[in-house]
């Protein structure tokens, strides 16, 4: 158990819908990262927040947005869902925003878009 | 942009034997970090080992060691005395020193046979 929690574990929805994935970082960690793992794209970085502020952006679609709240939990919002959005979405957390501190990954949320 | 390439999609090894996974990367950065992550069938991402580019000494963690060749931009992982629990996908990853966004390779599936 990494200490990072993600809810829900599984999500099945239809095209065009909107979903919210939630992540609670390890106690004391200020930085949160979102990654997408799909058969087509592999594992790719989406976005990073540090202490409530967006820190880095990767290949995140405009239909996707994220935020980190004052209690440091984070949410990833996916809208106008398409079949290709089906993937495993990981959240990770680390103490700081530098690679000196290890990123700990949550168990992931499996999203299936039908 | 950084790229990470793992040229071996799949490898098998007998229990107690040694297996070496290849990883090459492309970057113009001088300071960076390299990682190997393990993803067992549970899908949990687990950090196996990491290397800081400015350190010439190769990192080791118990049965896991790396061969870091900075000039060749190569970062291979050696698993010694392979155990059944080592069966997993292994991902090579890169991060700039000034940031913590991970760029992953495509992965190598390792099967340890009894």
* Test mutation, A99, A100, A102, chain B, max B CBs within 10 A: A99
Q: What is the mean pLDDT of chain B?
A: 95
Using CA atoms, how far residue B94 sits from A70, B12, B34, B52, in Å, is 29, 25, 5, 10
CA distance A80 to chain B (A): 26
What is the average per-residue pLDDT within B102-110? 96
Answer yes or no: do B101 and A48 touch at CB < 8 A.
yes
- Closest partner residue to B44 among A55, A58, A107, by Cβ? A107
Q: Output the six-digit token pair for A102.
A: 């290890």
CA distance B17 to chain A (A): 29
Q: Is the pLDDT of residue A40 over 90?
A: no
Q: Is the pLDDT of residue A100 over 90?
A: no
Answer yes or no: do B99 and A98 touch at CB < 8 A.
yes
Phi, psi for A52 (deg, rounded to 5) = 95, -10
- Closest partner residue to B100 among A2, A48, A105, by Cβ? A48
- Closest partner residue to B43 among A101, A103, A108, by Cβ? A108
What is the average per-residue pLDDT within A62-91? 97
């Amino acid at each position: 158990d990494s200490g990072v929690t993600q809810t829900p574990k599984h999500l099945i929805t239809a095209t065009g819908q909107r979903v919210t994935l939630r992540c609670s970082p390890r106690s004391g960690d200020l930085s949160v990262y979102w990654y997408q793992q799909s058969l087509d794209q592999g594992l790719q970085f989406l976005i990073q927040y540090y202490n409530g502020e967006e820190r880095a952006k990767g290949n995140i679609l405009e239909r996707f947005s994220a935020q980190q709240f004052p209690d440091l939990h984070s949410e990833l919002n996916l809208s106008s869902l398409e079949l290709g959005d089906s993937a495993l979405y990981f959240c990770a957390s680390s103490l700081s925003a530098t690679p000196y501190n290890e990123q700990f990954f949550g168990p992931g949320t499996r999203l299936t878009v039908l | 942009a950084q790229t990470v390439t793992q040229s071996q999609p799949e490898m098998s090894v007998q229990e107690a034997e040694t297996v070496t996974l290849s990883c090459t990367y492309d970057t113009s950065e001088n300071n960076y970090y390299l990682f190997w992550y393990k993803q067992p069938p549970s899908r949990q991402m687990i950090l196996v080992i990491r290397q800081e580019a400015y350190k010439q000494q190769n990192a080791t963690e118990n049965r896991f060691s790396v061969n870091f060749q900075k000039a060749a931009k190569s970062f291979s992982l050696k698993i010694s005395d392979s155990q059944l629990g080592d069966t997993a996908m292994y991902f090579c990853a890169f991060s700039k020193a000034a940031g913590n966004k991970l760029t992953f390779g495509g992965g190598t599936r390792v099967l340890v046979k009894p």
